[in-house]
Amino acid sequence: MSLRPLHDRVIVKRLDQETKTASGIVLPEAATEKPDQGEVLAIGNGKILENGSVRALAVKVGDRVLFGKYSGQAVKIDGQELLVMREEDLFAVVEK
């Protein structure tokens, strides 16, 4: 990827949402909501604090994260839709 986020920003790729319910009903794409989970593809160097020091980010490349449905700025790189957001916009890391 040719995108390197700055400071406390992260690049996230939305994970595809399940289009089939537990009972086996297939949902059309128009009826599904935007996924609120994604995979971190790249991270910045860290958040710059008031005293000038840099705090490393709590997420790392490859983490699966939760975020708000309308969080981040969508960008299209190499035909892929990605989200650029601040670390503070992430709600949690999904542990495996």
The confidence score (pLDDT) of residue 65 equals 92
Predicted local confidence at residue 37, as pLDDT? 87
Kindly report the average pLDDT of the chain as a whole number. Answer: 83
Q: What is the mean pLDDT of residues 51-75?
A: 89
Which pLDDT value is given to residue 18?
58
35/29 Cα distance (integer angstroms): 12
pLDDT band at 84 (very low <50, low <70, confident <90, very high): very high
The pTM (predicted TM-score) of the whole model is 0.75
Mean pLDDT, residues 41-60? 89
